[in-house]
Structure 1
């Protein structure tokens, strides 16, 4: 009886212990299960990222040869894993589909391209002459037969054309020639350009290197010519047939590399071979005032090569090897550097050319490798890369933007290429939505096996389909 009573007294304790052990076991199982789920989930996420980046890489490789496949692989990549890399790849693919050659690409090199502010006219410099292009029909999608270049602006005498400039409305053009003169052209009738006048630049000797840069104010009423010896001349074109020279300023024979003029013709910037970037006040055009030099590093490998200016003259860009410096000229006597933009990762190891939209919000850069890069400078202190422009060239010599930034041109080996960038903001904001709005594409099982690196495609398609819909891929995965 005593033993039985003792057993009855112990059993409740064993039961409590057993319950506690069972609870602990359940806790361990739950914790272990959650840990396994975390590891599995992490591996699954890593696999999705790897798959998305792999598809984006294949899309980039196919961009030149098979744009349709490139687009649907890029769209699938964003649907599987939406990050900066996949989005940038799809944006570049979408933008590339809106580029085309102004004429069949040849081996002819275009050294310079210029476009009027309204986008109606473009000039391209080839073989010592300037070709005139009427861009209206190129922009209009309803015009099937695109015209070739119209006439050429012939060189002055035996000299070759070194550089060109256009007024905003495209009705006045300048050609700067190798004999150190500039010619004024009337392009009112694009098919029949009229030579109106010839203006002398700086020195005219047998040793002169000719005109380096020419620029026109927005209204075409003021012309500025800079020769390669560093002489800047300002002209009044109120009467285009009888230009009046207002001033001639020498920079003490220092060769000029580049030049920019504000739309009102009152502010200019020169870049010389001594790595000096100088701001000029042309408010009194008959007496230009040399202002401050921008405070650049004198490091030889980072010497200044190019410059660009917004229409109001308040934003100035200075191109250097692998870098673009962005300056604020609200106070011309005290320039302030906004930021330095590193462009080395865009393969722009030596900035060949750059074009800034008049409002200063969109920048086009070009360099070695046959491509360009489009940047958003709406907030100058925080530039944002928008897209790459592939010109299908070996190298790009020159770039140009229409005033609104929605038309871009690049010139280089093989000719001139242009992009109609209307709708770029929508593409950048949501490239997958814009891709699916324009196209409905599917990836076949054979294509998936070829490009997806062995990933199980059943996770990315609906059960009743024999293909992957790139626009619905995030619904089923």
Structure 2
């Protein structure tokens, strides 16, 4: 008898083990199903982003609720950002070549193949205004072969380079009627190439730095804008000046020459600028450079990477981080004052978006998508709330990033803050999810032919009785 009891207990133990194993395998199978289904929905959301952004958003929310991993979350953020863009269709779609933004993002300069336009973006940014972005005027001049332009922080002073080697100052207090103030002849005599390679304007609009393709770098006082005064003129040893970046106070400058040499200059005395250091680049060429507003760091882009140097001591730059980029070539860098929004223009059609606010942990949080070829120019407002991207296949696009902090914190919450709860019909579920049992994910809970993407996590958390009902319904 005792032996029979032992055998019975052993059999029961085996049955319990088999039952537990079956439950475990069933749960694992469901987890795997969820992972594959979510990834499939996220990929389809990416494909639909440009042609059907609303469906893309619904599928993206469903993917994150089903499997909330970093890849699906990132795809949802990208779908949310696409809904915050506005293409400026009146521009030459294949000729957008340069952009500049005021500090608050309300005023823009945009150069296309034909002209430099002055744009007012406040119609979609001011809380009490209901309008659209509008081109207010164009700047007269010969700008065909020069893409160098800059705006003061308040958007009321513009500096644009011309083909003859001069830079023209404009008063934009009346955006619809720009007033030409004066011209800065930055070139020297008997030069091989007088064309302006780069220029920069201080935020207060009182200082300009200009470099040309023959290797001249000059600093100009614009206190009296109708009579600019050249404070100094130097010839960097590496020759052609191709990029200039200033800190907010125009006390520090980064100068890129011949696309491979980056030097840090002290502009504390505008009549006697001093080169403090040169970066020991770990690569052969550099293209875009960007000096942070406080002058504490510099970003330098190259193939598939961007590097950050600390300039705590401008005489001794220290390399602190390397950011991996999907782009083979980078063409531009734009950074908000806080460092929470860093954008990188390049080939491949995506604009990587990084958060650099925590120096020890720079994070690639998302991308601005839907350029099929490349993004050649980029600008972002000081507060990080507005960005402009320019490329050959879309012209110029404005991105409204005012709720970016909320999007990064909880993209599902932002997406689901909608009156219709992002509903998916049974027909759409079959199209995008295949034969996955939609009752497991909440299908039919809010209506016979409706699934609420924003309620999938709630449906998945229902008690086991729902699971058994799901199996009965499927059978």
TM-score normalised over the length of structure 1? 0.91
Asked if structure 1 preserves the Cα contact closer than 8 Å seen for 2:343 and 2:353, the reply is yes
Offset of residue 273 of structure 1: 2.0
The SS at the match of 2:399 is strand
Match of 2:358 in 1: 379
Task: Name whichever of 143-152 and 282-291 sits farther off.
Answer: 143-152
Q: Does 1:476 align with 2:451?
A: no
Offset of residue 369 of structure 1: 3.1
The SS at the match of 2:416 is helix
Structure 2 residues not aligned, in runs of 5+: 461-475
Cα deviation 1:411-446 (Å, max 9, x = unaligned): 122421101111111111111111111351211111
The SS at the match of 2:205 is coil
Aligned counterpart for 1:443 among listed residues 420, 424, 429: 424
Q: Does 1:207 align with 2:187?
A: no
The SS at the match of 1:207 is coil
Asked if structure 1 preserves the Cα contact closer than 8 Å seen for 2:310 and 2:320, the reply is yes
Cα deviation 1:246-275 (Å, max 9, x = unaligned): 000101362223221111111011122262
Q: Does 1:266 align with 2:251?
A: yes
User: For the structure 1 residues 166 and 106, does the alpha-carbon distance in structure 2 shift closer, same or farther, using more than 3 Å as the test?
Assistant: closer
Match of 1:4 in 2: none
Cα deviation 1:208-257 (Å, max 9, x = unaligned): 15111111111111111111222110011111111111000101362223
Match runs of 1:194-343 below 5 Å: 194-205=179-190, 207-252=192-237, 254-273=239-258, 275-297=260-282, 299-300=283-284, 303-343=285-325
Aligned counterpart for 2:400 among listed residues 420, 428, 445: 420
Aligned counterpart for 2:412 among listed residues 415, 432, 437: 432
Q: CA RMSD in A?
A: 1.9
Could you tell me how far apart the structure 2 residues matched to 1:249 and 1:105 are? 38
The SS at the match of 1:20 is helix
Q: Does 1:62 align with 2:71?
A: no
Match runs of 1:3-22 below 5 Å: 15-22=1-8
The SS at the match of 2:428 is helix
Match of 1:126 in 2: 112
The SS at the match of 2:287 is strand
Structure 1 residues not aligned, in runs of 5+: 1-14
Q: Does 1:110 align with 2:96?
A: yes
Match of 1:459 in 2: 440
Match runs of 1:33-112 below 5 Å: 33-104=19-90, 106-112=92-98
Task: Name whichever of 188-197 and 35-44 sits farther off.
Answer: 35-44
User: For the structure 1 residues 77 and 360, does the alpha-carbon distance in structure 2 shift closer, same or farther, using more than 3 Å as the test?
Assistant: closer
Offset of residue 359 of structure 1: 3.2
Could you tell me how far apart the structure 2 residues matched to 1:147 and 1:322 are? 34
TM-score normalised over the length of structure 2? 0.91
- Indicate the structure (1 or 2) with the bigger Cα radius of gyration: 1
Asked if structure 2 preserves the Cα contact closer than 8 Å seen for 1:128 and 1:162, the reply is no
Asked if structure 2 preserves the Cα contact closer than 8 Å seen for 1:180 and 1:204, the reply is no
Match runs of 1:387-426 below 5 Å: 387-390=366-369, 392=371, 394-413=373-392, 414-426=394-406
Could you tell me how far apart the structure 2 residues matched to 1:371 and 1:105 are? 21
The SS at the match of 2:454 is coil
Asked if structure 2 preserves the Cα contact closer than 8 Å seen for 1:214 and 1:224, the reply is yes
Match of 2:472 in 1: none
User: For the structure 1 residues 361 and 205, does the alpha-carbon distance in structure 2 shift closer, same or farther, using more than 3 Å as the test?
Assistant: farther
Cα deviation 1:91-149 (Å, max 9, x = unaligned): 10011101011234653411100001122210011225311111111324765542531
User: For the structure 1 residues 284 and 105, does the alpha-carbon distance in structure 2 shift closer, same or farther, using more than 3 Å as the test?
Assistant: closer
The SS at the match of 1:162 is coil
Could you tell me how far apart the structure 2 residues matched to 1:463 and 1:357 are? 45
Offset of residue 160 of structure 1: 4.7
Cα deviation 1:326-364 (Å, max 9, x = unaligned): 1111111121112000012xxx21001111113333211
Asked if structure 2 preserves the Cα contact closer than 8 Å seen for 1:393 and 1:412, the reply is no
Asked if structure 1 preserves the Cα contact closer than 8 Å seen for 2:242 and 2:259, the reply is no
Could you tell me how far apart the structure 2 residues matched to 1:270 and 1:70 are? 43
Offset of residue 205 of structure 1: 4.5
Asked if structure 1 preserves the Cα contact closer than 8 Å seen for 2:92 and 2:112, the reply is no
Could you tell me how far apart the structure 2 residues matched to 1:305 and 1:17 are? 83
Could you tell me how far apart the structure 1 residues matched to 2:405 and 2:239 are? 42
Q: Does 1:359 align with 2:338?
A: yes
Aligned counterpart for 1:24 among listed residues 7, 10, 22: 10
Q: Does 1:151 align with 2:131?
A: no
